[in-house]
Amino acid sequence: MFGIPVEVLIMQVIFGLALGAIYVLLASGLSIIFGLLDVINFAHGTFYMLGAYAAFMATSLSGSFWVGVAASVVIVMLIGAMTEYFLLKPLYGEWPFYPLLLTFGFAVAVPDLMKALFGLIGKVVEYPEGLVGAFIWGGVLVPKYRLFIIIFTAVVMIALFLFLKRSDLGMIIRAATRDSLMVNVLGVNTSRIWTTGFALGVGLAALGGALHAPMVSAIPDMGVEMTVESFVVVVIGGLGSVGGAILGGLIIGQVVSFVSLFAGEYSQVAIFFAMAVILMVRPRGLFGEAGRL
């Protein structure tokens, strides 16, 4: 293909899947939050950034990458729960743009706070032992860490699917996305469900940040671009659809990977071009529901 060896093309597919896996984690969390709270969370990339910094701090203190990843998810979920409970919850039922403006302000203020605390120099998170370097498989150079991200994300998505489909809490969350008033009438405290759902959504973003940190380093503004790309993925997949977020993330990952190979300077433009093409064919996204808004 265009004179490029097949091995190189396969490597690009792997790179695209690894990047797509990060998009999947962020977009899935964004879809859960929108589907449950009808809140467009402009601070989602900020929680991704906080996940990277939490992973850096926890890894530095414990000396274990795995402890760092787990700690980052827990820490950011707690931050997310407090953000929803103390900042967002008082705005429910008010002018719909209030939550949007609040999350936008959060996305502006927190990175500046992180710059004051950690400076502008990126914080490096070391690759976990055993996942450094690459191996040759069928003539293809396969980076170990990227392969791990692909497999690990697949496991997380399967676990998320089982949680939402099989567990009592997961079914309540799904029911609340459809009709929170009815769920409340049945005796379920929907206020707690909203807090739990928001914490779950930002926890997935934090996981994406923690996993991505060894490849990009933790910097205060890393969430700005990722927020925009996550929204593109969600719009492609369909607002509120976790399945759509997964497919959209994989599509955008491949778009960025292959456009970077042939014309790297257009990789960001290609994301929006892909979104425009898909929306022209299916305006509500791949798995979006008609009339969802």
For the stretch 244-286, pLDDT in tens is 999 999 999 999 999 988 887 888 899 999 999 999 999 888 8
Assess whether pLDDT exceeds 70 at residue 73: yes
What pLDDT is stored for residue 101 in this prediction?
92
Q: What would the mean pLDDT of 139-165 be, rounded to a whole number?
A: 94
Q: Which residue has the higher pLDDT, 268 or 185?
A: 268
Give the domains, in start order, of the chain with CATH numbers. Answer: 6-281 (1.10.3470)
pLDDT of residue 177: 73
pTM: 0.94
pLDDT over 60 (residue 290): no
Q: What is the mean pLDDT of residues 118-128?
A: 93
Average pLDDT over the chain, rounded to an integer = 91
SS3 per-residue string spanning the chain: CCCCCHHHHHHHHHHHHHHHHHHHHHHHHHHHHHHHHCCCCCCHHHHHHHHHHHHHHHHHHHCCHHHHHHHHHHHHHHHHHHHHHHHHHHHCCCCCHHHHHHHHHHHHHHHHHHHHHHCCCCECCCCCCCCCCEEEECCEEEEHHHHHHHHHHHHHHHHHHHHHHHCHHHHHHHHHHHCHHHHHHCCCCHHHHHHHHHHHHHHHHHHHHHHHHHHHCECCCHHHHHHHHHHHHHHHHCCCCHHHHHHHHHHHHHHHHHHHHHHHHHHHHHHHHHHHHHHHHCCCCCCCCCCCC
The pLDDT of residue 292 is above 70: no
Q: Confidence class of residue 289 from pLDDT cuts 50, 70 and 90?
A: low
Task: Output 152 or 37, whichever has higher pLDDT.
Answer: 152
